[in-house]
Amino acid sequence: MDSKLIEIRDLRKTYTRGRETVEALRGVSLDIGQGEFVSVMGPSGCGKSTLLHVVGGIDRPTGGTVRVNGTDIGAASEAALTRFRRDHVGFVFQFYNLLSILSALQNVELPLVALGYPRLARRKMADAALDLVGLADRASHRPAELSGGQQQRVAIARSLVSNPKVILADEPTGDLDSASARAVVDIMRELNGDLGLTFVVVTHNPRVAAVGTRIVHLSDGQVVQDESLGSGPRVSRSLGPGEMDGSQASEGAIVTALQGEDHRGWPG
Amino acid sequence: MGPFRFSYIAWNGLWQARLRSCLTIAGVTVIVAVFVTLSAIATAVGSVVSTTPASTRNLVLIDKGATDYCQGQIPAVVAEVLRSTPGVARVVPMLHTGLRWKGQIVIVRAVELKDYAAMAGMRIVQGDPLRRGRSVLAGEVLARMNGWQVGDTLELAGQELKLAGIFRASGLLNSELWTRLEDGQRLLSWGDSYSAILVQASPGADVEALRDRLAASPFLARETDVGIEPEVYATMNRSFEQVTRVMNGISALALIGVAFGVYNVVAMIVAEKTHEVAILKAIGLSAGQVTGIYVQEGLVQAGLGYGLGLLGGLAILTYLNAASAVSFMSVPLTLDLASETALAAGLLTAGLSLISAWVAARRAAAAPVAETLRGV
């Protein structure tokens, strides 16, 4: 494992929902290294998404410490957290969370605009990111003109375009059909394997979780199992036919994309 | 680049919600056009009154307690006293009152035949000067409004009067009907009293000293109030200024409507887009940058509405001028869009829109990201 990118110590998070106080995280401790692909599993309401939000700096811990690439999430100012999210984190959400008024390319460009890249540079980088997820020919399409799988791939392109330290994915396949889910998982795994990007993926799906290097099981806001599946970034390998749900699988999609070959045959 | 880095998001948002954007712009357009029109009317009212000529060498005596030329009755003996007062070059007794003619009020001014030509720099542009025997002169504007021609016979207060000529003067005078003092007194059944007396100071005489002297006279002070002509006009103008202030106030209130409109629209936009706001913040935009996007949406709508409102206001003013549709004390008003009005409307629209859009957008941008995303 590479050096620690994320250090979580005794993380506690409590929030109120109406009159109810919810103890979402109850003393989570975890280290995640650079280049890891960590899957976080557990039943609904066990604190998976909350953990991801705190690590991503869109929420703050109630107790304990979370350090991501040296940034103390609990102690950082609002401005520092904004810079942290902009510079170090890419988010992928279950419901894609693309801006409906922007094209795929404009959505991917957004983090680069925030970073202040000039127009030409960000256009090239966004094009490359879309190409990486096999959607170069959908650049001008709006989210409503794309399938769920394509939208999620756009979201992945947006999350990686600014070269973040870590990509945090919250149920990235939760709203997708199996073929699209497979394609999304392939992309994430290959980005991890080929580019060394760190992934923390929240999922209910054991097959999705299994493509990672490590599975962390949460229950009632606590880590109940931390299971290592291998050491370091794994070599790219697409899920085989039927590994998601028995339908046709796509082979070597990211590798093909990286090689600049035709990828029109991608599912999605 | 700075604050306009994310402008394309604002423009895309406006374009996506075209109907709402158009309605908002139309609302601002109407309000700015109303502001421009009311301001132009208020300015024109003030202008009519203030352009009525007044000389600092003239004193005006009006009936004790009266507020303008048209009120009260001054006995003829006052004019006799004034004529024998040192420092007085000329005494011009007059009647000045409104008469109803075919549903409108016509201001009638009656002066002695020898005096009228010396009044107020009037110039006969058609026909002849006033002459003896039931003749009248009409101001150019009044004649044009009523389609009067020289030689026409006018029936006023049950008496027939011949229009001898048409004169041009400035301000309110242009809409007056002038006649001889005797005809006026007969017309109004006023006997030999006057509604006002104009006193011209002798050359070299100290006008203020003369005024003080007249005001100190026990007889004159019992019958009249005396003032230097511009001061008397200024007193009369106060009531007109109140009208102007009310109209300006209504105009300003209309513009405050822009603020509410823009606030509501931006609040509606951001309420619909709380999720979008959360996404933008999650991917690294600051609250300020997110606020800027929606403030720009509000400002673009207000700006377009302002531009169209100015054009709309100009169109309304042009129409009203062409149709002589707005008059004040029977004077048709010439309505112009003053650069100060345009500037004031622009600054108020921009300022109020900026504040209201900022308040609405800032509130939305301050919402916690995780809670918003969790709420999906």
Compute the nearest-CA separation of A111 from chain B (Å): 6
The reply to whether A80 touches chain B by the CB within 8 Å rule is: no
Under an 8 A CB cutoff, do A93 and B1 touch? no
For CA atoms A99, A101, A107, A113, the dihedral sign is negative
Token code pair at residue B19: 């109907």
pLDDT at A254: 34
B13 close to A (CB below 8 A): yes
Answer with the residue of higher pLDDT: B348 or A52: A52
CB contact under 8 A, A86 and B285: yes
pLDDT (tens digit per residue) in B202-222: 888 899 999 999 999 988 888
The residue ranking higher by pLDDT, B327 or B213, is: B213
Give residue A63's identity as a one-letter amino acid code: G
Q: Do B282 and A97 touch (CB under 8 A)?
A: yes
More confident residue, B145 or A63: A63
Nearest CA in chain B to A15: B371
Length of chain B: 376
As a whole number, the mean pLDDT across chain B is 83
Mean pLDDT of B152-162: 85
- What's residue A6's pLDDT? 94
Q: Which residues fall within 8 angstroms of residue B232, CB to CB, at 6 or more apart?
A: B54, B60, B62
* Cβ contact A50–B370 (<8 Å): yes
Provide the number of CB pairs (under 8 Å) joining chain A to chain B. 76
| Yes or no, beta carbons of B9 and A58 under 8 Å apart | no
Q: Which residue has the tokens 């401790």?
A: A29
Name the least confident of A83-97, B113-127, B357-371.
B113-127
Order of strands across the sheet that contains A63-68:
A20-33, A4-17, A63-68, A71-72
Residue A99 is nearest to which of B279, B284, B374, comparing CB atoms?
Answer: B279
The answer to whether B369 contacts A106, with C-beta atoms less than 8 Å apart, is no
- A244-249 long-range contacts, CB within 8 A, separation 24+: A244/A178, A244/A179, A244/A181, A244/A182, A244/A185, A244/A207, A245/A178, A246/A178, A247/A178, A247/A179, A247/A182, A248/A179, A249/A182
Q: Which of residues 131-190 of B touch A (CB under 8 A)?
A: none
Q: Which residue has the higher pLDDT, A100 or B102?
A: A100
Which of B3-7, B309-313, B353-357 bottoms out in mean pLDDT, i.e. has the lowest?
B3-7
Which comes out higher in pLDDT, residue B255 or A192?
A: A192
**What are the residues whose beta carbons fall under 8 Å from the beta carbon of A210, sequence distance 6 or more?**
A39, A229
Enumerate residues 104 to 163 of chain A having a beta carbon within 8 A of any beta carbon in chain B: 106, 110-111, 113-116, 158, 162
- Kindly list the distances between the CA atom of residue B193 and the CA atoms of A160, B61, B197, B236, in Å, as whole numbers in the listed order: 96, 13, 10, 21
Q: What percent of chain B has pLDDT over 90?
A: 11
Higher pLDDT, B126 or A262: B126
Give percent of chain B above pLDDT 70.
Answer: 90
A85·B281 Cβ contact <8 A: yes
Q: Inspect the interface and report whether the beta carbons of B280 and A78 lie closer than 8 Å.
A: no
Tell me the chain A residues in contact with residue B269 when contact means C-beta distances shorter than 8 Å: none
Alpha-carbon distances of B284 from A117, B11, B304, rounded to whole Å = 14, 20, 31
- In the predicted model, what is the mean pLDDT of residues B244-248? 80
Hey, of B269, B283, B372, which one would you mutate to test binding to chain A, going by the most A CBs within 10 A of its CB? B283
A169: its two tokens: 């994915």
Check if B16 contacts A (Cβ < 8 Å).
Answer: yes
Instruction: Please answer yes or no on whether A15 and B371 come within 8 Å at the CB atom.
Output: yes
| Complex ipTM value | 0.79
A58 and B370 within 8 Å at the Cβ level: the answer is yes
Could you say which residues of chain A have pLDDT below 70? 1-2, 230-268
Cβ contact B6–A78 (<8 Å): no
Query: Rounded to 5 degrees, what are φ and ψ at B129?
Result: -65, 170
Q: Is the pLDDT of residue B362 over 80?
A: yes
Angle of CA points A56, A60, A61, to nearest 5°: 110
For B80, the enclosing helix (H) or strand (E) is helix B76-83
Which chain A residue's Cα is nearest to B14?
A: A101
Q: What percent of chain A has pLDDT over 90?
A: 52
Higher local confidence (pLDDT), A86 or B159 = A86
Selecting from A53, A110, A162 the residue whose C-beta is nearest the C-beta of B370 gives A53
